[in-house]
Amino acid sequence: MSNSIGHNLLHQSLLCSPVLEHQSKLNSSGIPAISLFQAATINQVARKSPISTKFYGTNLKARKPKLAMGSRRSASINPRAVLAVDPASEQVAGKFNLDGNIELQVTVSAPTSESIRLVNIQVSYGSDSLLLHWGGIHDRKENWVLPPRQPDGTKNYKNRALRTPFVNSGSSSYLKIEIDDASIQAIEFLILDEARNKWFKNNGQNFHVKLPMRKNIQNVSVPEDLVQIQSYLRWERKGKQIYTPEQEKEEYEAARTELLEEVARGISIEDLRARLAKKNGHENKEPSVHAMKNKIPEDLVQIQSYIRWEKAGKPNYSPDEQLREFEEARKELQSELEKGVSLDEIQKKITKGEIQTKVSKQLKTKKYYRVDRIQRKKRDLMQLLNKNVAKPVEKHAISVEPKALTAIELFAKAREEQDGGSVLQKKIYKLAGKELLVLVTKPAGRTKIHLATDFKEPVTVHWALSKKGGEWLAPPSTVLPPGSVSLDGAAETELRSGSSSDLPYQVQSVEIEIEEGSFVGMPFVLVCGGNWIKDQGGDFYVDLGYRSKQVQKDAGDGNGTAKALLDKIAKMESEAQKSFMHRFNIAADLMEQAKDAGELGLAGILVWMRFMATRQLVWNKNYNVKPREISKAQDRLTDNLQNIYKSHPEYRELLRMIMSTVGRGGEGDVGQRIRDEILVIQRNNDCKGGMMEEWHQKLHNNTSPDDVVICQALIDHIKSDFDISVYWKTLNDNGITKERLLSYDRAIHNEPNFRRDQKNGLLRDLGNYMRTLKAVHSGADLESAVTNCMGYRSEGQGFMVGVQINPIPNLPSGFPELLQFAVEHVEDKNVEALLEGLLEARQDIRPLLSKSNERLKDLLFLDIALESTVRTAIERGYEELSNAGPEKIMYFITLVLENLALSSDDNEDLIYCLKGWNDALSMSKSESDKWALYAKSVLDRTRLALYSKADWYQRVLQPSAEYLGSLLGVDQWAVNIFTEEIVRAGSAAALSLLLNRLDPVLRKTANLGSWQVISPVEVVGYVAVVDELIAVQDKTYDRPTILVARHVKGEEEIPDGTVAVLTPDMPDVLSHVSVRARNCKVCFATCFDPNVLADLQANEGKMLRLKPTSADVVYSEVKESELAFSSSTNLKEDGASPSLTLVKKQFAGRYAITSEEFTSEMVGAKSRNIAYLKGKVPSWVGIPTSVALPFGVFEKVLSDNINKAVVEKLQPLKKKLKQEENSALKEIRETVLQLAAPPQLVQELKTKMLSSGIPWPGDEGEQRWQQAWMAIKKVWASKWNERAYFSTRKIKLDHDYLCMAVLVQEIINADYAFVIHTTNPSSGDSSEIYTEVVKGLGETLVGAYPGRALSFVCKKSDLDSPLVLGYPSKPIGLFIRRSIIFRSDSNGEDLEGYAGAGLYDSVPMDEEEKVVLDYTHDPLITDANFRQSILSSIARAGSAIEELYGSAQDIEGVVRDGKIYVVQTRPQM
């Protein structure tokens, strides 16, 4: 119910003296002219005040007086079942004979002292299923009136009638109701025996019973102030419901009628006023004042009160202070009147501010913002840090046994397999414990409709066909199944039982075959045991317009979901569909189970609630529930959510999303509804193309106030009978031209083009949608949340007076002013100041959200509203950025990133991105020449953070959406885009758009171009687009192929036949896939420009020539004839397998050796090279001490008797592998890990490690040795990892001949790790060194860790001048305690012409710790002198080692406390 009339007005009216001469003025329509602000006297005419004023918040409000317009609405009806009436007052209204011996008698009573008419209906027919199908009749109206309050058990039937059950008393049934609405002149009804589907009528018509009316009240009137009080009392009596404006008018008139009847009975106005004052808790103590009041019009008093309030500094008055202010304003005007000044003159003096006013200036709360902009507080961003990561729940806690298929599901599966064609529609209805299947398939160009049920009794289908909706046409004889009976406009076909030999279950079914395109639908009902079986009271309907349908996927096994919970939800959905009350109560009951199921359990609740919010589930199934019951159920649900929010911080993000979906009144996050409801409009009205699709895309991209105008233009266009000029007039009148429509990021090119049959549906849906758009762009959702937290008093319209919501205590200082600033600026075109205010409010409220507070729920809804308003404001602000410089875009990025971080459970990466952007802004303002290069690294990292966020949504939400969606029959399109819509609705999507806008600016400023070329090879090939390179790495292409791969991690193999790999991902230049590309002469490049990448993807299947340079890739289409010569050389070079052989190594009799014993027969090149470096490199380059388990040790261990069982397991697995059963690889690795260590190996390894100064793990206990032994076995097992196995198979290496030594080194706990190529691999320039550096251990550099390393080049002629090419964007660094690493060193890693390095695993004894990196405190980034020193030292080490070997080297090393260590080197491939 709307709240806009001040609490003060109620007090005013209660304190007024009786005004007997008051009459309701009638306007030209004969309707009472109700103005709450005009003088209460018959002689005064309503005057329009020249001043329009408004008090906000808890303050006074004055309005322009208005005359009530429109048709007078009747009061509401309030019938309810009763048990007895006074027989003396009854009169028989009618007796009727029903169906022979059944008698019906209706008696009614005259209005009682409380204006209630009683209706007593009795039937000589005993039945538990007898219903009264009824409604009320207003004067000269045929449509039935449905009262808002109904007797117990009453149900709303299609919003056209009520159905109330009779009370069975043996041989008869009775029902007694009462009606207290004087405007109801009669009731009409029918009687239905629901069990027999039998109707009792009055000779084919409705029973009509006139009700006695109280006479002689039409000439009586009551003062409007008393009507207001009575209206308020009625509203309070009914539980303070939320009324629509129409309901509010009806209630107001009902209050008037009640008072009129009392006056007609002889009660005086004075007595009436006294009684109402007493009822409302007030006594009339100042009658003398009222004589004065009558002389001053109320509208002038309120305006003068407003002026006093303004002069006092707009203080927050209490209700008593408001009354006092009204009296003071009245006295001031009365004083003028007593001086002889006329009312007209007083009005003019008020307008000019000439009335003498004495007010005390109130002390204002100190504001910390200017009128146009707030001053943001300086905060430590680390105070925002959240590291609340949900732990996985044990699988048994959320898993259940697979549910056996029902007979109907088995039947459906068999028919789908039998027909073989596509399934166009599939739905299973639940009917009183039984099931009905509707399955539509399309085999061989004909449409088959299968109906099947598991009813035991015989079932007949009564059916027809339709060429348009709602039509029943007799089916042609050619489509009738055998045994069918043709009827007038329909047919009947008995379902046949399936034989036990046909199916292992018993169902009844029928198959109907229809020619394609001849009909659009098939309506039907079932007949069983003489009863009609319908779909919720209506016909079943099979939609054959399958063009827009998507087949509902099978539910699957529910992997990745809280399956037990989702199964329970699906089981209870039929109950939940009854009303919001049922749904919210069920959800509240399930919250404990959802919490116990962890992240996936709450994800299941979110998916369910969002399916509800997007109207994929039934909201109300003819079930009447009082608004306060819905509110109570919703409060219960949100209370449960609030409690979990307090106790489980790791689930807060999901809980916020659930709350925003549920909302306070089932309405949800209004900003999200913009996105959801446009899809509903398109679906409901079949308007998915053209202008509506373009508008849909714009709304998803950046909704703005323009959308309100566009929506209004569409409504005007449709109302004008589709006059397109009206559409353009509405747009142009509101400043939207065709050019503006084309200027949107998602332009609108087309004009609306609707069909006439869409008119009513579009007007209905667009009208509803307009309210959603206005709610967002007027800040209505924010205002309600603000009001709920700040307190709400003395506001209201009509009779909504005296409502009070207490403010939340202990809010931060200045917080109310901050919220007021946000509300007042919510519609600003330039949104920067608004965004600052919203985020400052979120920052202020944040500490309160982590504390216990009985009003925590209200604070959460406020924070959700603030977050949502930031999203919609930033979308509106895109236009502001059209011509903005990079600094402005970066600043907007920080604002959106802050909004996202404030809503995330685990926001560490986001916080460090935010700090990076702040540094980038500072660098740009200081005119640093590296600011754009640094900002690009922060941008890349921010993108990775968004990808990670999207992946989390996909992993947590999508499986539940698919499983539950299938169980509930949700439209497949809604399931498919579930996670996508979640992502697009949040700040992450807005942030991504800003990054896309900034990226080309940074690339241009930093001279980066659109490409990073990793392997510059000119090629010709056919374009193929793949999602992930890893998914096709084992594939062989039979023609030269240019792969455009959306995702490349860095550890993949390049498929045979591939001549180029192009990707938007950013693998390191020195990653495995990069090295492999250069070695195999495959063109490999990263494309930063999404438009260029989209163009390449659009060329799928075409043949292109790629001409890469060091910083660009030029491509062009070529003819088939050009391919033969252009690519033949490339294919011969790249496609021919190198002729390589391995020499099998033998066990040399020693389990462990020191570095002095390293030879080619004992260890691989990795170990030998590290031994060679010792004593030969400069003293400032450290070389770690090493020992090794030489070649043949693995085979020796395997042959030991203690591992006989392991050998027996491995033999069949190796046979499977030779038969190309690649799944055996994983089983072999797992089996190798079962090896036991021979005692001699343990003793020898201990001796060699201790003699070399490497600590022996066993000295710390047996468990530490077992950790070391497991690491050794993992190195051996990596011989069978997929990447290595497929790689050796491609070049036809004998895998059995591949031997693995293990290099043992003490780990240096690195500050930084690096990889040096002493010849630039991208350009081939041997005069410069190329290096990549990461923070922590080097595994993030050579492994599949996202993001870029710091990269630099250094001329060998000037090693003191390293040039940074790119700053780091890797979010993760690896760090480890003092430990030992076991490195793979095979005889197949460094063969000439084959890049085997990195194929096998190096395993540390202890697990590395993953640390989210903060580069803003890293001296390598922030300290230019430190950076120059470290990078120069790394370059010098590379140059010295290259000089030592006399050839280009690939070198790995680390930096610890400024010292350089080299851990391995190999020839650069």
Q: Which residues are catalytic?
A: 1072
Q: What is the dihedral of CA 1313, 1319, 1325, 1329, to 10 degrees?
A: 40
Q: Which residues pair with 1332 in a beta bridge?
A: 1315, 1351
How many other CB atoms are there within 10 angstroms of residue 214's CB atom?
15
Please give the Cα distance from 553 to 542 (Å, whole number): 18
8 Å CB contact between 1385 and 1300: yes
Give counts: helices (H), strands (E), the chain. Answer: 43, 44
Pairing of strands 1036-1047, 1056-1063: parallel
Residues 6+ apart with CB under 8 A from 53: 61, 62, 63, 302, 303, 306
Please give the Cα distance from 1436 to 1361 (Å, whole number): 11
Tokens standing for residue 875: 């979308």
8 Å CB contact between 162 and 190: no
Please give the Cα distance from 952 to 599 (Å, whole number): 11
Please give the Cα distance from 1063 to 1077 (Å, whole number): 13
8 Å CB contact between 147 and 100: no
Q: Which residues pair with 95 in a beta bridge?
A: 105
Please give the Cα distance from 1008 to 1314 (Å, whole number): 23
Residues in the chain: 1469
Our CA angle for 1279, 1283, 1289, nearest 5°, is 80
CA proximity to 344, closest of 297, 303, 308: 297
Please give the Cα distance from 320 to 326 (Å, whole number): 10
Residues 6+ apart with CB under 8 A from 1256: 1246, 1249, 1250
SS3 content of the chain, % helix, strand, coil (to 5): 45, 20, 40
Please give the Cα distance from 920 to 1422 (Å, whole number): 11
8 Å CB contact between 151 and 80: yes
In one-letter notation, the amino acid at residue 305 is S
Max CA distance (Å), the chain: 126
1293 class by beta-carbon count within 10 Å (0-12 exposed, 13-18 middle, 19+ buried): buried
Pairing of strands 198-200, 1403-1404: unpaired
| Burial state string for 951-965 with b = 16 or more CB within 10 A and e = fewer than 16 | ebbbebbbbbbbbbb
In one-letter notation, the amino acid at residue 847 is P
- At 235, is the secondary structure helix, strand, or coil? helix
| Burial state string for 385-411 with b = 16 or more CB within 10 A and e = fewer than 16 | ebeeebeeeeeeebeeeeeeebbbbeb
Please give the Cα distance from 842 to 864 (Å, whole number): 9
Stretch (H or E) spanning 1105: strand 1103-1108
Please give the Cα distance from 1185 to 1198 (Å, whole number): 28
* DSSP symbol at 1280: G
DSSP alpha helix (H) spans, 489-598: 563-576, 580-596
